[in-house]
């Protein structure tokens, strides 16, 4: 690649060129918008002209329909008149109505009776569709376009019947509407030079054209897209195409509204594309020329300016840097001209060279010191190597201790890193997962390899594996899950917790499997024992309570005051023992999950008042006050009255016990959404 294309000057030129691209894009964008606006205006103009021509033709057809109705009255007396009389009337009508190119009358056999001017029309109309349709329908009929003889003018033929006294068709009058007004539309609408107005048949044959009608009439337009649109009966559409005279034009097409669909004709107004886009193209060309001139001027300025202000100072800096790189630390920059940034860079370079020169001197002095220190460093490296070897030995010893500790525990243990790779495990896993890989073989293996045996041992292992896998990167979550082996069934407790370094860095996750079978069996035996003892104690206590009440009531004879006091203490202790037995039974039921509630609609206000009244004597002894923060009206609630009273009694009893004399205990009740919230607060110690 030539050196110029990698030089700074070339890059500056590329930068300037890139800076001109937005301006070029803006010019092209504006030019395109102007081109589109010009095309839109041209399409609107040609559609307006074509539409005006179609409306004029429609108006003339409507007028012709009225005129022929008048002609019927004029010719009615000549339904059986002579040809000479008919010629006279036809010439008078043609003179009075200049909008017609010809007037002719035919008999019911199709032969011509008269015409004006002489020789106009056909010798016979018998095979003409409009003639047959006029006789059959007895009404006004629109024929088609053709050249009127002998004038040679383009005309639209219309016809109407002449009826005799019995209402039968006696003759048919034909009129040719003169279409020579078409060229005047171009002048009236002030279309630009070289604009055209063309009348086309449904097959695309030119019926009339302005200008040069004699040159193009009878020829077919060479544009299939236009002929297809005309043959489908489309109207009011535009197209830009090459005309039959080789000129590109924008055409607007409208279907002549007065012609029946079976004889459709279209009028096309065309404006040369060069004329329509002349102004837009001129603005674009002038803008591009101005942009090129400005670009050349800026490139010339950039060429000489870059040499003076950029390249020359840059070369001075480069030469000085090369001398400095070759070891000439006394090299300095000689700057002539250049921007202030280059002068600042030169000053900085000179300062850097001075510092390098000073540092080189210091480096030479330091080299001697470094050689002297190298011997001391080698000695330190040898000492450090010995320390590292000792640490490696300690690490191996610590790993051995960790392995022995893991193997000594009764739990089966796995330790994973956050990626799920097994870091450590113990021999207890071999007993828990028999038939699997040896524990040592699972170290550094994937999570799936270490958990493959869990599905063979536990019935519900899939959820546990998913929980462990999901928590590998969780540094806070700790969870437990019960697992049950396949028959014979044993119960294990899975415990999972994150493992951190002293600095709080997440190492991984510890997973332990603890055999809970014996522990659960002991809990079951304990519950059964408590239940049995509680029931066995309740019977004698009930008997003692009953007989003690008999003694207190005097059923066994009178008792003195001292005996009454002793029996009261016995009764009090009996109540306490029965309460303890009931608490034991409640605890056992709670642990077994068998507590049942007898819920019903409950008057909460009445229950709270009853509990408060039951504590009045007890609170009075310690001069404590029970404050009720309860609304006057409370809604009914759905609850177990016995259990509710039991809970409130325990809470208020606890508050009474730990609140000093003169203290306050508050019982509150308030709505909490769709629930009722009841709370006990005291001014004593504790919670």
Answer whether residue 687 shows pLDDT above 60: no
Q: What mean pLDDT comes out for the span 415-441?
A: 75
H/E element holding 121? none
Answer whether residue 212 shows pLDDT above 80: no
> Is the distance from CB of 200 to CB of 230 less than 8 angstroms?
yes
Distance (Å, rounded) from C-alpha 284 to C-alpha 582? 105
Answer whether residue 339 shows pLDDT above 60: no
- DSSP 8-state symbol, 155: E
Percent of the chain exceeding pLDDT 90 equals 5
Phi, psi of 26 (to 5 degrees): -65, -40
Q: How many CA atoms lie within 13 A of 449 on its CB side?
A: 15
Following CA atoms 150, 154, 160, 161 in sequence, which dihedral angle do they give, to the nearest 10 degrees?
30
Please give the full DSSP string across 238-275, using - where no structure is assigned.
EEEEE-TTS-EEEEEEEE-TTS-GGG-EEEEEEEEHHH
Looking at per-residue confidence, does 399 or 643 come out higher?
643
Answer whether residue 42 shows pLDDT above 90: no
Answer whether residue 18 shows pLDDT above 60: yes
pLDDT on residue 681: 93
Answer whether residue 80 shows pLDDT above 80: no
pLDDT digits (tens, 9 = 90+) for 148-178: 776 677 788 888 888 877 878 888 888 888 8
pLDDT on residue 668: 94
The closest alpha carbon to 472, from 510, 424, 444, 514, belongs to: 510
Beta-carbon neighbour count of residue 254 at 10 Å?
23
Q: How many CA atoms lie within 13 A of 303 on its CB side?
A: 7
The closest alpha carbon to 512, from 402, 424, 398, 404, belongs to: 424
Phi, psi of 159 (to 5 degrees): -145, 155
Dihedral of alpha carbons 599, 604, 610, 614, sign: positive
Q: What mean pLDDT comes out for the span 618-645?
A: 89
pLDDT on residue 580: 74
Q: How many CA atoms lie within 13 A of 65 on its CB side?
A: 12
Distance (Å, rounded) from C-alpha 322 to C-alpha 76? 118
Percent of the chain exceeding pLDDT 70 equals 77
Distance (Å, rounded) from C-alpha 432 to C-alpha 420? 20
Answer whether residue 17 shows pLDDT above 70: no
As given in the structure block, the two tokens for residue 552 are 């207190």
The closest alpha carbon to 194, from 145, 249, 256, 151, belongs to: 249
Distance (Å, rounded) from C-alpha 270 to C-alpha 43? 9
Distance (Å, rounded) from C-alpha 507 to C-alpha 440? 20
Name every residue whose Cβ is closer than 8 Å to that of residue 619 and which is 6 or more positions away in sequence: 625, 626, 656, 665
Name every residue whose Cβ is closer than 8 Å to that of residue 463 and which is 6 or more positions away in sequence: 481
Q: What mean pLDDT comes out for the span 252-257?
A: 75
Looking at per-residue confidence, does 121 or 114 come out higher?
114
Q: What mean pLDDT comes out for the span 130-148?
A: 82
pLDDT on residue 682: 92
Place of tokens 């690649």: 1
Place of tokens 């604009």: 195
pLDDT tier at 333, thresholds 50, 70, 90: low
Helix (H, G, I), strand (E, B) or coil at 28: helix
Averaged pLDDT of the chain: 77
pLDDT digits (tens, 9 = 90+) for 592-601: 666 677 889 9
Distance (Å, rounded) from C-alpha 59 to C-alpha 53? 10
> Is the distance from CB of 654 to CB of 663 less than 8 angstroms?
no
Answer whether residue 6 shows pLDDT above 60: no
Q: What mean pLDDT comes out for the span 535-544?
A: 74
Name every residue whose Cβ is closer than 8 Å to that of residue 16 and which is 6 or more positions away in sequence: 295, 298, 299, 302
Answer whether residue 99 shows pLDDT above 60: yes
- DSSP 8-state symbol, 137: H
Contacts 24+ apart (CB under 8 A), 481-485: 482/516, 483/458, 483/513, 484/458, 484/459, 484/460, 485/457, 485/458, 485/459
Dihedral of alpha carbons 130, 208, 98, 151, sign: negative
pLDDT on residue 397: 66
pLDDT on residue 87: 80
Angle between helix axes 312-325 and 340-408 (nearest 10 degrees) is: 50
Answer whether residue 79 shows pLDDT above 60: no
Q: What mean pLDDT comes out for the span 78-94?
A: 74
Distance (Å, rounded) from C-alpha 244 to C-alpha 209? 11
Answer whether residue 321 shows pLDDT above 90: no
Q: What mean pLDDT comes out for the span 369-394?
A: 71
Name every residue whose Cβ is closer than 8 Å to that of residue 222 and which is 6 or more positions away in sequence: 242, 244
Answer whether residue 185 shows pLDDT above 80: no
pLDDT tier at 578, thresholds 50, 70, 90: confident
Distance (Å, rounded) from C-alpha 389 to C-alpha 376? 20
pLDDT tier at 78, thresholds 50, 70, 90: low
Rg (CA), the chain: 59
Answer whether residue 19 shows pLDDT above 90: no
Looking at per-residue confidence, does 233 or 121 come out higher?
121
Answer whether residue 335 shows pLDDT above 70: no
Q: What mean pLDDT comes out for the span 368-385?
A: 74
Answer whether residue 103 shows pLDDT above 80: yes
Answer whether residue 240 shows pLDDT above 70: yes
pLDDT on residue 667: 93
Following CA atoms 134, 135, 138, 143 in sequence, which dihedral angle do they give, to the nearest 10 degrees?
0
Distance (Å, rounded) from C-alpha 199 to C-alpha 179? 10
Q: What mean pLDDT comes out for the span 656-663?
A: 90
Pairing of strands 625-629, 153-163: unpaired
- Ramachandran region of residue 282, left (φ > 0), alpha (ψ -120 to 50) or beta? alpha
Distance (Å, rounded) from C-alpha 236 to C-alpha 55? 12
């Amino acid at each position: 690649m030539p050196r110029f294309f990698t030089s700074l000057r070339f890059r500056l030129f590329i930068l300037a060129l890139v800076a001109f691209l937005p301006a070029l894009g803006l010019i092209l964008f504006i030019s395109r918008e102007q081109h589109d606006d010009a095309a839109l205006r041209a399409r609107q103009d040609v559609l307006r002209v074509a539409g005006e021509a179609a409306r004029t033709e429609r108006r003339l057809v409507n007028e012709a329909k009225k005129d022929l109705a008048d002609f019927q009255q004029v010719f009615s007396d000549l339904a059986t008149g002579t040809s000479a009389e008919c010629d006279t009337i036809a010439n008078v009508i043609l003179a009075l109505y200049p909008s017609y190119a010809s007037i002719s009358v035919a008999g019911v056999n199709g032969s011509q009776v008269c015409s004006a001017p002489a020789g106009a029309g056909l010798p016979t109309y018998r095979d003409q569709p409009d003639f047959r349709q006029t006789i059959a329908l007895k009404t006004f009929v629109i024929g088609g376009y053709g050249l009127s003889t002998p004038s040679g003018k383009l005309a639209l033929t219309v016809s109407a019947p002449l009826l005799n006294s019995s209402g039968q068709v006696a003759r048919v009058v034909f009129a040719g509407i003169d279409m020579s007004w078409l060229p005047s539309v171009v002048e009236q609408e002030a279309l630009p030079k070289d604009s055209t107005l063309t009348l086309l048949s449904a097959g695309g044959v030119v019926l009339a054209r302005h200008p040069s009608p004699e040159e193009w009439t009878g020829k077919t337009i060479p544009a299939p897209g236009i002929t297809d649109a005309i043959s489908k009966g489309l109207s009011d559409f535009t197209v830009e195409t090459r005309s039959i005279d080789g000129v590109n034009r924008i055409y607007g097409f409208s279907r002549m509204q007065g012609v029946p669909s079976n004889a459709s004709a279209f009028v096309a107004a065309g404006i040369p594309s060069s004329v329509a886009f002349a102004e837009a193209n001129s603005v674009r060309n002038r803008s591009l020329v101005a942009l090129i001139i400005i670009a050349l001027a800026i490139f010339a300025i950039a060429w000489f300016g870059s040499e003076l202000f950029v390249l020359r100072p840059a070369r001075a800096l480069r030469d000085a840097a090369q001398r400095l790189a070759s070891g000439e630390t006394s090299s300095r920059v000689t700057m002539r001209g250049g921007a202030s940034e280059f002068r600042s860079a030169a000053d900085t370079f000179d300062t850097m060279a001075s510092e390098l020169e000073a540092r080189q001197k210091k480096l030479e002095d330091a080299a001697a010191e470094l050689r002297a220190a190298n011997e001391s460093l080698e000695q330190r490296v040898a000492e450090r190597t010995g320390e590292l070897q000792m640490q490696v030995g300690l690490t191996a010893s610590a790993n051995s201790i960790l392995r022995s500790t893991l193997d000594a525990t009764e739990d089966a243990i796995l330790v994973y890193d956050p990626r799920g790779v097994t870091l450590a495990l113990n021999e207890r896993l071999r007993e828990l997962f028999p038939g699997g890989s040896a524990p040592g073989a699972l170290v550094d293996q994937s999570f799936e390899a270490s958990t493959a045996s869990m599905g063979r041992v536990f019935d519900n292992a899939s959820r546990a594996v998913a929980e462990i896998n999901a928590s590998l990167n969780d540094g806070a979550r700790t969870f437990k899950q019960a697992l049950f082996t396949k028959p014979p069934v044993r119960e294990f407790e899975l415990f999972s917790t994150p493992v951190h370094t002293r600095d709080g860095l997440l190492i991984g996750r510890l997973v332990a499997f603890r055999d809970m079978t014996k522990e659960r069996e002991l809990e079951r035996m304990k519950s059964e024992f408590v239940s049995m003892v509680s029931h066995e104690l309740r019977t004698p206590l009930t008997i003692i309570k009953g007989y003690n009440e008999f003694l207190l009531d005097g059923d066994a004879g009178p008792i003195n005051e001292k005996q009454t006091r002793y029996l009261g203490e016995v009764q009090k202790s009996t109540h306490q023992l029965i309460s303890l037995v009931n608490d034991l039974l409640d605890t056992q039921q709670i642990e077994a999950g068998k507590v049942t509630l007898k819920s019903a609609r409950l008057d909460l206000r009445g229950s709270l008042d009853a509990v408060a009244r039951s504590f009045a004597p007890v609170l009075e002894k310690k001069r404590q006050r029970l404050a009720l923060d309860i609304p006057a009206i409370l809604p009914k609630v759905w609850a177990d009255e016995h259990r509710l009273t039991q809970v409130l009694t325990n809470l208020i009893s606890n508050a009474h016990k730990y609140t000093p004399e003169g203290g306050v205990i508050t019982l509150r009740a308030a709505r909490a959404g769709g629930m009722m919230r009841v709370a006990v607060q005291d001014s004593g110690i504790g919670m």
